Structure 1
Amino acid sequence: MPWLAWLVAAAALGAAEFFTLTLVFGLLAGAALVTAVVSGLGIGLAGQLVAFAAAAAAGLVVVRPVALRHMAQAPLTHEGSDALIGKRAEVMQEVTAFHGLIRLCGEEWSARALDESHVIPAGALVDVMEIEGATAIVYPRELLP
């Protein structure tokens, strides 16, 4: 029952992938599953080893680079405070280089002016340039190029 040994190997490699998240053990687990099927068809040990080597090589050479390329891409959507960058806000209390208050997406945020020389009056519209902790760094809309 060599097919059972290949299934056990596939399970062990799958468990190793679960803990390492490198994708290598997962691809080897897939190769072990292919080999279990080949073994179940009655092909001898030499054929099983060739099947394992071919499936593992195919996974490592073809699938892994594609998966790594997709994992390296930046997410298409921004989450959390990153989603607020570029949004328009209204100044509630005068914003200077040191303090201020804005209404951003229906919430009040502490704010600072991006340019230390700017004093932005209440009621003005600003754009959020970046977020530092719980403070929005803003720039007046009328001064944007």
Structure 2
Amino acid sequence: MEWLADNLWLAWLALAFIFIAIEASTVDFVFVMLAGGALAGALTAVAGGGPILQVIVAVLVAILLIGVIRPMVKRQFMSSEASGTIGSAALEGRLGRVLETVTPTDGRIKLAGEVWSARVAPGSPACEPGEEVRVVRIDGATVIVTNQPA
């Protein structure tokens, strides 16, 4: 028991790891904030603070992290704006520039800094080099475009 009293920082560190393991399964950003509090308690122990001070620091830091940092992190990760605009879905509706004539069977455009294979949408006329086109949808590695404004 004397060893634990001399190395209380290890107990705080173990508690932080437990909280991080729980966070990995919940992904709610509460337990990672509690782990931050536990790490603050460990630092207080290393600095020579007594057990009561360690608990006070750990609780205050955890409350501060949960009250201030967690809402910002949660807002950033749970933003519907960010979740719907990844991958090919983010390219639909964007404008590109024709590099090689785009027909119903073939063509090339520059879109978001990359060269893409392209086809015109059914019923759309061919698009000539230099023309601005709008992406209607993505079909595999080919963009379907139209020269009609949105």
TM-score, with structure 2 as normaliser = 0.65
1:107–1:133 CA distance, 2 compared to 1 (3 A): closer
CA–CA distance in 2 between the matches of 1:50 and 1:93?
68
Structure 1 stretches of 4+ with a deviation exceeding 4 A read: 77-81
Report SS of the residue matched to 1:130: strand
Q: Return the offset for 1:80.
A: 5.2
- Contact (CA 8 Å) 1:31, 1:55: kept in 2 or not? yes
- Compute the RMSD of aligned alpha carbons: 3.3
Superposition map of 1:95-114 within 5 A = 95=104, 100-105=105-110, 106-109=115-118, 111-113=119-121
Q: Return the offset for 1:31.
A: 0.3
- Contact (CA 8 Å) 1:92, 1:103: kept in 2 or not? yes
Percentage identity across aligned positions? 24
CA–CA distance in 1 between the matches of 2:99 and 2:19?
55
Q: Return the offset for 1:81.
A: 6.9
Q: Return the offset for 1:48.
A: 3.2
Q: Report the equivalent of 2:126.
A: 121
- Contact (CA 8 Å) 1:90, 1:126: kept in 2 or not? no
CA–CA distance in 1 between the matches of 2:97 and 2:42?
59
Q: Report the equivalent of 1:64.
A: 70
Q: Return the offset for 1:20.
A: 4.0
CA–CA distance in 2 between the matches of 1:25 and 1:122?
55
Structure 2 letter corresponding to 1:63:
I
Q: Report the equivalent of 1:74.
A: 82
- Contact (CA 8 Å) 2:10, 2:42: kept in 1 or not? yes
Matched, 1:5 2:5: no
CA–CA distance in 1 between the matches of 2:22 and 2:132?
51
Report SS of the residue matched to 1:5: helix
1:126–1:91 CA distance, 2 compared to 1 (3 A): farther
Aligned residues: 133
Query: What residue ranges of structure 2 are gaps of 5+ in the alignment?
Result: none
Matched, 1:138 2:150: no
Deviations 1:79-134 (A, max 9, x none): 55745731122564643xxxx3221234433x242xx654x136463503232323
